[in-house]
Structures are given as structure tokens and as C-alpha cells.
Copies of this chain bind each other. A is one copy, B any other.
Amino acid sequence: MNKIITIGREFGSGGREFGRRLSEQLGFAYYDQEIISEISKRTSLSEQYIQAVVEHRPSFSFPIHIGRSFYPSVSPAFEQTMSVYQEQARIIAEMAAKSNCVIVGRCADYILRDYRPFRIFVYADMDSKIKRCREKGPEEEKLSEKELKQKISDIDKKRAKYYEFYTGHPWGDKLNFDLCINTTQTVIKELVPAIAKLF
């Protein structure tokens, strides 16, 4: 069976960099944005749209009350969201079947639970996430400290809602991971060789 490493991460914690470096060190395939591109190809929906969909938990419409029964009305938007999610799950399973790989985000830890992936969660304290965002993102340069903090919180809240909706588990709960890495005081490059030795 292929070795699968899944990486959940807080925004600004450097989880993506960690995943990419780990895959390079191990010679494993690396999947992150590639998954979005593949869903886009298969569904003929734009990458931007897919990105927006997979960053939000779908919202139900109000149930319609007919007689004594409740029928939830399922909106076309909800159906499309679910089909994007199903496509994503299918693609992730295909990738896992193909070769050893590192997969970042996208509930891959849950989708691939039958493959027994090694599940890593990368996190950091807020100051360190702000600092990392400022260093990496030209977009973030324009934001004030308060705005950037808000942005980080908002993105993580969305990730949490999305993860909890699809998996039924709280996001970032250490019991759902094999290893949780705090990058607050860490140079990610220096961390990778040790973690790679686990595989």
C-alpha cells in the first residue's frame, strides 16, 4: 500500500511549505492546488469557482413544511457543492492509489481514512502566523495588523466549518492527527529532515 501523508494546517502556519518540502525530501508526489485544477477539468467549472466552493461549507435552504412531514429543499447550489466535494473525494482517492504522496488540506485525512494515512496538523500562534503572512504574501502587505489578524481568523473559521461539515469531527483536534507540529519557533526547512525520517 502506498504511503500517504495528509497535512491539515492553520492559515499562515507554513503547513503548505512544510508539505511541499516534506514531499521533496521523500520523493513523494505532492498534491494541493493540483486537486482544484483536476476537479475543474472534470466538471468544466472554473478553478476560481471550485476554490470558492471547497473553502465553504454548503448552506442548506430552509425545510419546506408539507402536511406533517418535513422535506428539506435542496438547492441547485447545494447539489453542485456536493458534487464538487464528491469529485474531490474521488480524485484524492485516485491520487492516493497511484503513488506515495503528500496531500495538503481538503479533508484528505478523513477521505482517505481507510488507507491509514499519516495525519499531520501544522499550527502556530497568531503573532507567528501574522509574521509569516507578511513575509510570504504580497497581498497581505497592504493590510493593517488588525485586518490581517481578522483575515487569518476568518479563513481558519471557514476551514473549521468546512471540515466539521464533511467529517463530523472538530477541526484541528489533536486526537484526529498522528502528529501536530507547532511552527511558532521553528524554521520549517530545519524541521523536515527529522519528520521525513518517520517514513
List residues of A whose CB falls within 8 A of some B CB. 116, 121, 123, 125, 172, 174-175, 177-182, 184-186, 191, 193-195, 197-198
Question: Judging by beta carbons under 8 Å apart, are B178 and A179 in contact?
Answer: no
Taking CB as reference atom, which chain B residue is nearest A194?
A: B197
The CA of A116 and the CA of B186, in the complex, are separated in Å by 12
Contacts of A182 in B (CB 8 A): 174-175, 177-179
Contacts of A184 in B (CB 8 A): 178
Contacts of A181 in B (CB 8 A): 178-179
The 4 residue pairs across chains A and B that have the minimum distance between CB atoms? A194-B197, A180-B180, A194-B198, A178-B182
Distance (Å) between the CB of A196 and the closest chain B CB? 8
Instruction: Please judge, given known A-B contacts A116-B185, A180-B180, A185-B116, whether A125 and B194 are in contact too, CB under 8 Å.
Output: no
Contacts of A179 in B (CB 8 A): 179-182
The CA of A97 and the CA of B185, in the complex, are separated in Å by 21
Instruction: Please judge, given known A-B contacts A191-B198, A194-B194, whether A180 and B186 are in contact too, CB under 8 Å.
Output: no
Contacts of A123 in B (CB 8 A): 174-175
Distance (Å) between the CB of A18 and the closest chain B CB? 13
Question: Judging by beta carbons under 8 Å apart, are B186 and A197 in contact?
Answer: no
Distance (Å) between the CB of A121 and the closest chain B CB? 8
